Amino acid sequence: MIYTKRKVGYYMGNTDIVATSLPDANAKNTTGHSTIFDDVFRTIAQKMPQLLIPLINEVFHTSYSEAEHFEQLRNEHYEKYGTIITDSIIRIDNRMYHLECQSTKDETMVIRMFEYDISIAIEHASLEENDIWEIEFPQSCVLYIRNHRSLPEYHGAIVKFADGQEVHYRVPVLQAKKYTVDQIFEKRLLILLPYHILRYEHFLKHNGTDSKKLQHLLDDFRKINHCLEKASEKESKSHLYMNMIVLIKEIANYIIPEDNTIRKGLGEIMGGKILKLRSEELLEQGEARGRLTGLREGRLTGLHEAKIDAIQNMIDLGLTKEQILRKYSPEEYEEALRSMSVKA
């Protein structure tokens, strides 16, 4: 399978995800290119890879800590007829784990996984004693993020060799829909949060009016926001949780039609306190940089420049004008905008 990558976001420094425009949710993906769902998963895998560890623990019944040392392996594998791009491959304690995110049911999924795993195994093969090559397959799984009926616990195949050997190849399946918000936070499966909106996909795309379902949806996302706020305050990782909120909003905006008022409601629910915490962090960083600039250049304008810099960071991060004006004056906001247009 040949893929090309299209990013959902890019990054400020090494931490903050900035939203970009996305395709229409109702448009069919006929190009063979990655979807928004793949892109969000790869964004997390590349910029928040520690969130993969609880997923590995859940699927393979391991007990790695999120502080465990791991190595991210290259996910592009070159073959005669093109390039295979897998979603995520990491190595922990000399074990390789291959994780794929899948939105649609595919009867050939096990064939694709076998193809991916062969490429991974060959790339990491080693020549042992007596000139014998050791070719070790990774432990692989498929995460299904949409609501599908009758998915198996495993994708399986029997690999037959000419000398009569048979190998049973099995890939475990994990379904995001099986996890409630409480279970997601209890098991630290935060990687599932951006996809939680998909359990309401049919309801949202058809502008459903079921008041109980709507209330359940809003309650779910109030709980998600509350749990993220608590975790952000407790762990001092506002950038990580803010990035998660950005990705949650990306998929929500992709799924929810523009004329559906629920889109605005979710936007108002998600991220207020975390965005405030992150904006304060940016201000502190900007002010520290400004003080350094002022001392170095012998000017008193360093702090003012730091404020302008912090406002520009907030604009890049998607904060609204109203949110920024809670902290800064209209004049400072306008100056930051002018400065950005000059730089552009």
Find out whether 245 and 278 touch, Cβ atoms under 8 Å. no
Residue 39: the pLDDT is 87
Q: Is 327 exposed, middle or buried (0-12, 13-18, 19+ CB in 10 A)?
A: middle
Residue 28: the pLDDT is 43
pLDDT, average across residues 100-116: 92
Residue 253: the pLDDT is 86
Q: Is 235 exposed, middle or buried (0-12, 13-18, 19+ CB in 10 A)?
A: exposed
Find out whether 124 and 130 touch, Cβ atoms under 8 Å. no
Among 120-129, 140-149, 204-213, the least confident range:
204-213
Does the structure show a pLDDT above 60 at 16? no
Residue 288: the pLDDT is 56
Token pair for 236: 């001092």
Find out whether 176 and 147 touch, Cβ atoms under 8 Å. no
What predicted TM-score, i.e. pTM, was given to this entire model?
0.71
Q: How far apart are the first and last CA of the chain?
A: 39
Task: Give tens-digit pLDDT for 38-53.
Answer: 889 988 888 888 999 9
Task: At 187, give phi and psi (nearest 5°).
Answer: -95, 0
DSSP β-ladder status, 95-102 and 139-144: parallel
Highest mean pLDDT out of 3-7, 138-142, 255-259, 264-268: 138-142
As a whole number of angstroms, the distance between CA 124 and CA 128 comes to 13
